[in-house]
Chain A
Amino acid sequence: MSARAGTSEPAWVRRSLIALALGFVFLFLLLPLAAVFTEALRKGLGAALEALREPEAWSAIRLTLITAAITVPLNLLFGVAAAWAIAKYEFKGKAFLTTLVDLPFSVSPVVAGLIYVLMFGAQGWFGPWLQAHDIKIIFAVPGIVLATVFVTFPFIARELIPLMQAQGSEEEQAALVLGANGWQTFWHVTLPNIKWGLVYGVILCNARAMGEFGAVSVVSGHIRGQTNTLPLHVEILYNEYQSVAAFAVASLLALLAVLTLLVKSGVEWQFERDHKAALELPPEKPGV
């Protein structure tokens, strides 16, 4: 009895802490989410759906999907390559390289947009050359993709690096000794081991890619029907006092967020289950 009391709090403390935490979650997380959907449905479902049927909304959805469809595979390829290099080998400057991979996370989205304007804008490094060849990057789709790639750059790599480091490379060594080549080793040994981390990184990367606002806002130019992504479309509608339409489009993005959280929880659950199963395998190791 006394030992139990020593490692847990009295019931009233427990209950008030839980109540306080739940109150905070309700106010700061649940209410904002609920507000998106209520505001969208303020004038009924019809009005909300009307806003989604606008051609401009459709083009924003299309652009957002295109952007994510280019961004996620690019960062996926990079994430796997970077994780392989950083987790499987020792080399000079590794810690520094890992820091650089994380760098885009700490750069303000606005600054991320600005650097591409400085590179490819009319006044930028390549501006005159691009103009001479009639290539548009800033205020066009390529700029939006570049800015999105930048802000989502570390997502997949930083999920995979610690995961692959924790797994070591014994299994890959074994595959090589048994005669597999590098690609076979990767596809049949490494990939199954990192699959949940991969899915996890991809959904987080995708959520951010579809929802990025600051960086995209700088490079987009806000040309309606052409360079507006969903979040930018939300801003325009909101600033035009089309509240219901703005929240209707926003609720699409909120649904995406909820879906992301669901998949993420599912992946975590799967991963934990696999992990537990793996821990239970060797019976000769008690109490791992």
Chain B
Amino acid sequence: MTIATLSTAPFSRVTPTRRTARRVLPGFKLTLGYTLFYLSLIVLIPLSSLLFKTFSLSWAQFWAAVASPRVLASYRLTFGASLLASLVNVAFGLLLAWVLVRYKFPGKKIIDALVDLPFALPTAVAGIALTALLAGNGWVGQFFEPLGVPLAFNRNGIVIALIFIGLPFVVRTVQPVLEDFEKELEEAATCLGATRWQTFRYVIFPCVAPALLTGFAMAFARAVGEYGSVIFIAGNMPMVSEITPLIIIGKLEQYDYAGATAVASVMLGISFVLLLVINALQSWQRRRSGGKS
């Protein structure tokens, strides 16, 4: 996903010797100071307003907002659909990364660039485009409607939108790992008599697994918070196809700031946990692949 993953330049571990008295680069106080100032202004203080507002609620108020049947149904839907979509992303993300790294075929560069489309395409545009495709009279939906499997305006649509949104995460985390993978390991496995499948299963897959898990967690985190692409296609029926971010919007539109804040704080808590999990996974991945390159 990042240009830095292209850079194979190893971290410089060569510390200068004592004699060439290392000069300290100027600007530490300025840049760190500005970073902390801007971070506080844009991110930390506004986020803390959410916490303060949450703590000003009574426990009964809070609980009534975050654990009403309609909200509970939205959690189940949001997490269930996100889980399903990210699992699909893991499978097809690995497939895409594999095909892009290992095989040559016409149009490969275009496909590679196209993988980032969900990052670049505004979510609202993705939402209405997918709805147009999947509705009963759409290019794709028309084949599923007669089978009794409507794709739009229900949970199927939500999962499909979330698959679209999460796809680049898995591809872009797995791709660099596959690119750096040393062919010698595969050759060794083959020399030792492994079949191609065994080589993949026991040599390649374990190497890719941390990246795959990181991509999964990123896609999942994004899916849980996703709003724009989902609301057009979801049908938004309470208890059935209403996602949690929409619950927050609904409460805001009724000027129920306390309720919206309570539900939002639950989502924020979940984001925090997911962020920590992703961080832990990434450092695990770095340790796993660190020694080699």
A interface list, Cβ under 8 A from B: 2-3, 5-10, 14, 17-18, 20-22, 24-25, 27-33, 35-36, 39, 77-78, 81-82, 84-86, 88-89, 91, 97, 99-111, 114-119, 121, 123-125, 146, 149-150, 153, 158-159, 161-163, 165-170, 172-173, 176-177, 181-182, 185-186, 196-197, 200, 204, 207-208, 210-214, 217-218, 230-232, 234-235, 238, 243, 246-247, 250, 253-254, 256-258, 260-262, 264-265, 267-268, 271-272, 275
Contact = CB atoms under 8 A, between A and B. Distances in A.
Given A36-B125, A261-B114, A25 B96 contact: yes
Contacts, number: 328
A262 B111 CA distance: 12
B3 A100 contact: no
Which of A6, A186, A217 has the most B CB atoms < 10 Å from its CB?
A6
Contact of A166 (B11, B92, B113, B133): B11
Given A109-B227, A218-B249, A261-B116, A32 B35 contact: no
Interface of B: 2-12, 16, 22-23, 25-28, 30-32, 34-36, 38-39, 42-47, 49-50, 53, 92, 95-96, 98-100, 102-103, 105, 109, 111-126, 128-130, 132-133, 138-140, 163-164, 167, 183, 186-187, 189-191, 196, 199, 221-222, 224-228, 232, 245, 248-249, 252, 257, 260-261, 264, 267-268, 271-272, 274-276, 278-279
Contacts of B226: 108, 214
Contacts of B132: 35, 39, 243, 247
B164 A172 contact: no
B196 A9 contact: yes
A215 B80 CA distance: 23
A243 B224 CA distance: 28
B7 A166 contact: yes
B129 A21 contact: no
B248 A114 contact: yes
Given A35-B139, A238-B232, A107 B133 contact: no
